[in-house]
Amino acid sequence: MVQISKSKCVCCHRCALFCPVAAIRSGRDGASWIDEAICVECGVCVRNGCLSGAIRRRRSPWPRSVRALFSDPVTKHRSTGVPGRGTAESKTNDVTNRIQPGQVGLNVELGRPGVGTSFHQVQQVTRRMAKAGAGFEEQNPLTHLMSDRRRGVFPRELWPERVLSVVVEASLPLEELAGVLKELRAVERKIGTVFSVSVYCRWADRRRMLALVDRRRLLPQAKVNVGLGRARRQR
């Protein structure tokens, strides 16, 4: 939990400028305070927002602890046992071979850019994806928080928790991609946040994959794993 000490606050409101989710307000006395319902515990105000040392962070108990886990890039996922917000996705596929020929990896990042998301909203997406046959990535911390992975459901106590962004990772056969994207189009009309969608596959499958997506949505830039990685046996 992040709090501002009234006695140390010099009322400069620098912290409010730095807050990515506009969770910092100023009271009648001029001192800044943090709206705990909105704060995602990203740590920006602690690291950059205060020159007088008025902002302190304490470790939050479960389920609030997920806020920092998913919002602060320098926090490790001890509760899920998986580091970071997700796997290396396509970035180490030349070594892991997680996505095989004929398969497609699908990433849905909710809350980014700059809006944030709740676990209830995350579940709106994951339930639709599960319904269309997507299998959630085992090494993703979000998957470990699901109470029912087959249906993409999270424990009810997590629903109100807000985070800056989360990455849902799934894989599926290429021919099923169109069905999952159709479900995502249905949820985008109802959801109160934003989400970024990315798809990845082996280079040889690129044309087949691009034929299944709406070209109008396709951004010109891509992440290209050039294939320099080599697996080696470790103890």
The rounded distance, in Å, linking the Cα atoms of 14 and 109 is 29
**Burial environment of residue 143 by CB neighbours within 10 A (0 to 12, 13 to 18, 19 or more):** buried
Residues 12-71 that bind another protein (CB under 8 A): 16-20, 22, 42, 44, 47-48
Check residue 81 for interaction with another protein (CB under 8 A): no
Contact window for another protein (CB under 8 A) among 1-9, 58-66, 112-120, 141-149: 112-120
Residue bearing tokens 């697996």:
231
Check residue 218 for interaction with another protein (CB under 8 A): yes
Check residue 159 for interaction with another protein (CB under 8 A): no
* Residue 150 or 223 with smaller CB distance to another protein: 223
Check residue 182 for interaction with another protein (CB under 8 A): no
Q: Least Å distance between CB 66 and another protein?
A: 16
Among 63, 105, 141, 152, binds another protein (CB under 8 A): 105
First to last CA, the chain: 39
Check residue 195 for interaction with another protein (CB under 8 A): yes
Which among 97, 104, 99 has a CA at the least distance from the CA of 180? 104
Residues 115-154 that bind another protein (CB under 8 A): 115
Instruction: Give the three-state DSSP class for 167.
Output: strand
Is the dihedral angle over the CA atoms 40, 146, 128, 223 positive or is it negative? positive
**What letter represents residue 140's amino acid?**
N
Among 79, 133, 196, 208, binds another protein (CB under 8 A): 196
* Residue 18 or 150 with smaller CB distance to another protein: 18
Check residue 78 for interaction with another protein (CB under 8 A): no
For residue 144, give the H/E element and its range: helix 141-145
* Residue 112 or 149 with smaller CB distance to another protein: 112
C-alpha atoms less than 13 angstroms from C-alpha of 6 in its C-beta half-sphere: 6
Check residue 192 for interaction with another protein (CB under 8 A): yes
